[in-house]
Amino acid sequence: MKTVHNFNAGPAALPPEVLQQIQEEILDLQGTGLSILEISHRSKEYEKINGETQQLLKDLLNIPHEYEVLFLQGGASTQFAMVPMNFLKSGSVASYIHSGTWAGKAIAEARKFGEVAIVASSEKDHFKKLPALDNLKLPSGTAYIHLTSNETIAGTQYKYFMEPQDVPLIADMSSDILSRTIDVSDFDLIYAGAQKNLGPSGVTVVIVRSELLKRISTTIPDIMNYRIHADSRSLYHTPPVFAVYIVNLVLKWIQANGGVRGVELWNRAKADLIYRTIDGSDNFYSGLADRDSRSLMNVTFRTSNEELEKHFLLESERNGFVGLRGHREAGHLRASIYNAITYDQCKALSEFMKDFQKRFA
């Protein structure tokens, strides 16, 4: 096989050990004689995978007993609509933190269901830094506060979150869940598409406080109702069986590698290595995000001109580096260093960047 360093922003790299196990079990899942791709979601084999995966996530994130763990479909984009559909009632207001592209998409969807207030924004800074979370002025009748913990496009990430409020706090953690320790009890609902740190695209994890489910109207379509999915243990309809199975394997891999705390230490070392390469380049490279807002997951940077960046991408691909082109809305360069990316891969990128600088500075 061709060896590549996969720095794609998502779907992202999976641990080689997980890919190996998938390969070994794809034709015969644990002695059943059936592939994971063809077992029934009502079978005892899948019931075990479903329950075990929920418990693994609870253990790794220390999720309190008063929370439900759901496996849904449709990615974070569906959650942009499900959140206001379930909790933004007539006469109330949804308060959003506008931190970048993904927060903006969540805001646009929420406005289709009711009134939205932007209570903090970094738009004037072109989203290169994160809006402060202290001293928020919430409008009367706020149903919930929504924030995006990590913006993959600009490469920004909250280091800390707000103190608990009197209203529910909801977070999109699609691109940094399980990359660092968090206190789940600070949030009332967390959602995350799996395709960054959890597994493949096709399944979305939702962690929701049980008390919040009591607020949901019975008029919401069942398929979009969090309470329905919680009551049926994420088996209300045919779940994304294969995707949940892979999440199960990834969670076991995290558990075997020191848990979330172990992965966090690894991630900080990787990010520090690449940021030091950028900052020590005598302005040959420059970071896109404000230093205090830099992401551990998505390192965004540029060279001095567009032609040089094109050449950087061409040479990087020739040298086995995949996915370093920035998002079309931001351009420039980006290395997404999710959990499955190793320190050695980041070291290889750092060495390539230094060599490229020597030749073209």
pLDDT in tens, 137-178: 999 999 999 999 999 999 999 999 988 788 999 999 999 999
Q: Residue range 90-112: average pLDDT?
A: 97
Distances from the Cα of 320 to the Cα of 7, 38, 195, angstroms: 10, 35, 22
Q: Residue range 96-105: average pLDDT?
A: 98
Looking at per-residue confidence, does 3 or 84 come out higher? 84
Kind and range of the H or E run holding 280 = none
Please give the pLDDT value at position 1.
60
As a whole number of angstroms, the distance between CA 60 and CA 191 comes to: 16
Q: Give, as one character, the DSSP assignment of residue 337.
A: -
| Residue 249 near residue 22, CB atoms below 8 Å | yes
DSSP 292-316: GGB-SSEEEEE-SSHHHHHHHHHHH
16-256: CATH class = alpha beta
Query: Tens digits of per-residue pLDDT, 49-78?
Result: 999 999 999 999 999 999 999 999 999 999
172 among known catalytic residues: yes
State both tokens at 71. 């496996």
Q: What confidence category does residue 107 fall into, taking pLDDT thresholds of 50, 70 and 90?
A: very high
186 among known catalytic residues: no
Please give the pLDDT value at position 30.
86
Cis amide linkage into residue 11, ω under 30° from 0: yes
Domain boundaries, the chain: 16-256, 259-360
Name the one residue in this structure whose structure tokens are 């404000």: 290
State both tokens at 243. 């995707």
Please give the pLDDT value at position 300.
97
| Residue 95 near residue 142, CB atoms below 8 Å | yes
> Looking at 129, 172, 176, 253, which residue is catalytic?
172
pLDDT exceeds 70 at position 7: yes
The pLDDT > 90 percentage for the chain reads 93
pLDDT exceeds 80 at position 108: yes
Query: Tens digits of per-residue pLDDT, 215-233?
Result: 999 999 999 999 999 999 9
As a whole number of angstroms, the distance between CA 358 and CA 44 comes to: 59
pLDDT exceeds 80 at position 331: no
Q: What is the pTM of this model?
A: 0.96
Please give the pLDDT value at position 50.
97
Radius of gyration of the chain (CA): 21
CATH of domain 259-360: 3.90.1150.10
253 among known catalytic residues: no
Q: Residue range 174-196: average pLDDT?
A: 97
Three-class SS state of 57: helix
Three-class SS state of 62: coil
> Looking at 128, 176, 188, 196, which residue is catalytic?
196
pLDDT exceeds 70 at position 203: yes
Please give the pLDDT value at position 125.
95
> Looking at 102, 129, 188, 266, which residue is catalytic?
102
pLDDT exceeds 80 at position 2: no
As a whole number of angstroms, the distance between CA 152 and CA 336 comes to: 8
Query: Tens digits of per-residue pLDDT, 9-32?
Result: 999 999 999 999 999 999 999 889
